[in-house]
Amino acid sequence: MTTATDPFDYEAALRACARGDRHALQSLYLQESPRLLGVALRIVRERQAAEDVVHDAFVNIWTRAGSFDAARGAGRGWIYSIVRHGALDAVRNGARQVHASEDALDAIDAEAALQQPMADAFELRDNLGRLHDCLTQLDAAKRNSILYAYVDGCSHSEIAERLKSPLGTVKAWIKRGLTALRECMV
């Protein structure tokens, strides 16, 4: 496990996966699987479907690790995008949606929290505080577009419908907003 002074090196783990190092994949799984399950569950709304999405995502991570390009983004973000896209594909492909109760979601979050060391909780809180500050610096359209996409799991067309804006505009807001967030978080 990592601590605040010894951050997990996602890029190195992905390079090792590309070389066929199974321990690197196991390390990625131990590091991120509880949070990735939470991301998938919030989108597909069914535990079994979310577990399937995470499983498929790790198969994709293993087989596509060689295509990861650190110049295009962070390794952790690449991993999360694979899970998010897999979950959205599952919903689009007619995966059954069962809305989990808040109690069930809280139980899953509590289970995931127990599996992470205390240092991660402090680091997460610090990062969330910075993320909140960076999000407040964005204009409302960009901020809402990003939140709809990454928190609610909406597709670009669903966001355009919610915001009553053209699809191309929403895509531009998300792209520019993510660029601004990346710069702010550094």
Q: What CATH number has the domain bearing residue 178? A: 1.10.10.10
Full-model pTM: 0.53
- Give domain status of residue 2, yes or no: no
- Give domain status of residue 1, yes or no: no
Domain that holds residue 123: 117-185
Q: Which residues in 38-149 belong to E strands, given as ranges? A: none
Task: Copy the structure tokens of residue 151.
Answer: 């928190």
Domain count, the chain: 2
DSSP secondary structure, 88-114, as one string = HHHHHTTPPP----HHHHHHHHHHHHH
Considering the domain architecture, whether residues 13 and 56 belong to the same structural domain is answered as yes
Q: How does pLDDT run across 78-105, given as a tens digit for each residue? A: 999 999 999 988 888 764 444 555 666 6
Considering the domain architecture, whether residues 95 and 168 belong to the same structural domain is answered as no
Phi, psi of 116 (to 5 degrees): -105, 140
Considering the domain architecture, whether residues 130 and 91 belong to the same structural domain is answered as no
Tell me which of 115, 134, 164 is where a domain ends. 115
Which of the four pLDDT bands, split at 50, 70 and 90, describes residue 57? very high
Which of the four pLDDT bands, split at 50, 70 and 90, describes residue 13? very high
CA distance 91 to 76: 23
